[in-house]
Structure 1
């Protein structure tokens, strides 16, 4: 069975350098070092650029930074930009406020299988614990099971078992499209499959369902889903909800594409000038 020879972790971010630093520090501590990090920046200010430059001085793996102008919420496009800058054959999308466990890369590598994507899982953190973690630079991955249980009982984690158990790669395949657990904050896709469907669709306006759209188009192209729960959990730092003005219309587009068996993005990977995907100097 083909294995991913190199993994590219694409971390999307926008004007939250403290969270981004916590995420990248956790990537530095991975038990699998055969990967690269691409910071896909949706128009952040110089504070984020300065943060990335400091991280680049001590990174143990290749760390690149791509940036696009701030023209509103354009997560689909910046993920495509990161994909074009990546050199790996297997792409893992991770949000810049989702802290991975130490085995995040190695678990995604174990679950990688041709013909499948992996839709990962997350643990939500409370506002109070998020503030403490960032202010005090707490090490989530250094917590023991009893500390994790206490955090769950205190309401600072919304899950417990997923933070202490890793289940084998059995029964994870999903034979039909489902909205359940589609989160581009933790999503792994073979690069060739992304290229097949023209990547994320940049025609989606506002927040919502550009990740579901990608998954349904991949499904229409013959790529099935695997569930990454109890294997690839990330810790999602609390933040205010994004505006969801376009959510209903975006969902309607996805449902229509599922019905029509749409495969190609209207505007996607092939519509970005490759020169734009060069890393910042």
Structure 2
């Protein structure tokens, strides 16, 4: 877990989140598409386009796609047609649909790297070069720039050019959100990213490979009000094996104060955002109200081999009561054995789950076992403390239970063939495996016919 793996095309797959292990060597610049969601922001768009003409990234490798979210008047980009490789795409005005606009813009992209910039930002000249450097070398990288704030009222493109290239006085700087600065500093620019670091990825200043963006599934278009779609995307990307990094040298200036400082606390709006996120984000902090969501944090698959209906009930019951967990029963006579219970528990299913990618963990049970209170939490703690992608409970050759992170499984599936290895070996190389004793987790054996009577 201490070395990056070289892909045949010269790019790198890194262990865990260790983007710092990538060799410091020159790579040719990649083709980049800057995707700009826009709605009735013509003066701000003019400044942004002017800033993009000043980029140090080669102009021949830079495309700009303005994705208009149904402005009454189409954005006017005529002054920049000869200066930028520029495309405008539009969607009808059906309300606030920034997520859909970004997806529309990405669909028109020619570049191998996507660089999302909101229309009310102005990137410094090295912005594109700096924020795309890591995704060019590490295709799993999801980078976020530094969003600073300034009062650009009355500024036109000429003023902007004077600031960036001629040493003219800058605009008045406004407060930079402390919570973000502290998060980046405390995590060494997300090198130490953890399960909750998705909260520090901002779509206004975000970049990744187009292949990662497509594989993750793009922005969720069900978000139709301000905020939330970037947290949901970053959360999903992390579980898909994305490598998170903050690039402090990629600076884009936002026109105006941070949203929270402009509006103050709007509890109703924040509650709407929280309720939209909770069904999709399996962070326990988002789910503190005891309700059950379609996407659980943990998917458990129980093999019926060797079980009676009674022992299966004990195993499944101990799993389904372990927090945010849903159980699938698979194997011989699964439906018939469950039918004997007479239950109507919607957290229990028969068969194999269709898609586990949005859940953080997949647990597989291969024996007659009972998990004690807190057993699953102890397994999660092993993952959180060690960063491993897989925990084996019992003998490595014949475990009674395994826990695998979706993050490790997704990255291994993505690159195993290119690395000439199988997925399990690749996951172990990139994340590692921990082996623990069942007794240390309060996991015990269950008789073939345990006593259920009272």
Paired residue for 2:225?
A: 206
- 2:256 counterpart SS class: coil
- How far does residue 193 in structure 1 lie from its aligned partner after superposition? 1.3
Paired residue for 1:29?
A: 54
Q: Is the 8 A contact 2:198 2:235 kept in 1?
A: no
- 2:281 counterpart SS class: helix
- How far does residue 74 in structure 1 lie from its aligned partner after superposition? 0.1
Q: Which whole-Å CA distance do the structure 2 matches of 1:74 and 1:118 have between them?
A: 23
- 2:214 counterpart SS class: helix
Paired residue for 1:71?
A: 94
Give unpaired runs (5+ residues) of structure 2. Answer: 1-9, 12-26, 177-187, 283-295, 298-355, 359-454
Q: Is the 8 A contact 2:45 2:120 kept in 1?
A: yes
2:175 aligns with one of 158, 161, 164: 158
- How far does residue 228 in structure 1 lie from its aligned partner after superposition? 1.7
- What is the aligned-residue RMSD (CA, Å)? 2.7
- 1:258 counterpart SS class: coil
Q: Which whole-Å CA distance do the structure 1 matches of 2:48 and 2:357 have between them?
A: 32
Paired residue for 1:5?
A: 30
- 2:226 counterpart SS class: coil
Paired residue for 1:15?
A: 40
- How far does residue 147 in structure 1 lie from its aligned partner after superposition? 4.3
- How far does residue 53 in structure 1 lie from its aligned partner after superposition? 2.8
Q: Is the 8 A contact 2:199 2:231 kept in 1?
A: no
99-108 or 249-258, which deviates more: 249-258
Q: For each residue in 1:217-246, what CA deviation from the matched residue of structure 2 results, as whole angstroms up to 9, or x when unmatched? A: 0011111210122x1110101278588854
Q: Which has the higher strand share?
A: 2
Q: Is the 8 A contact 1:37 1:64 kept in 2?
A: yes
Paired residue for 2:256?
A: 238
2:274 aligns with one of 242, 247, 251: 251
Q: Which whole-Å CA distance do the structure 1 matches of 2:85 and 2:117 have between them?
A: 16
From the superposition, tell whether residues 135 and 186 of structure 1 become closer, same or farther in structure 2 (CA, over 3 Å). closer
Q: Which whole-Å CA distance do the structure 1 matches of 2:240 and 2:116 have between them?
A: 20
- How far does residue 104 in structure 1 lie from its aligned partner after superposition? 1.1
Q: Is the 8 A contact 1:125 1:237 kept in 2?
A: yes
Q: Which whole-Å CA distance do the structure 1 matches of 2:47 and 2:201 have between them?
A: 23
Paired residue for 1:275?
A: none
From the superposition, tell whether residues 88 and 138 of structure 1 become closer, same or farther in structure 2 (CA, over 3 Å). closer
TM-score by length of 1: 0.76
Q: Which has the higher relative contact order, 1 or 2, with Cα contacts under 8 A spaced 6 or more apart?
A: 1
Q: For each residue in 1:118-144, what CA deviation from the matched residue of structure 2 results, as whole angstroms up to 9, or x when unmatched? A: 011211113xxx113239744331364
What is the aligned residue count? 240
Paired residue for 1:132?
A: 154
From the superposition, tell whether residues 195 and 244 of structure 1 become closer, same or farther in structure 2 (CA, over 3 Å). farther
Q: Which whole-Å CA distance do the structure 2 matches of 1:226 and 1:251 have between them?
A: 24
From the superposition, tell whether residues 85 and 244 of structure 1 become closer, same or farther in structure 2 (CA, over 3 Å). farther
Taking the TM superposition and a 5 Å limit, the aligned residue runs for 1:55-66 are: 55-56=80-81, 58-59=82-83, 61-66=84-89
Instruction: Flag the structure with larger Rg.
Output: 2
Q: Is the 8 A contact 2:44 2:119 kept in 1?
A: yes
- How far does residue 248 in structure 1 lie from its aligned partner after superposition? 2.2
Paired residue for 1:101?
A: 124
Give unpaired runs (5+ residues) of structure 1. Answer: 160-169, 265-281
Q: Is the 8 A contact 1:121 1:183 kept in 2?
A: no
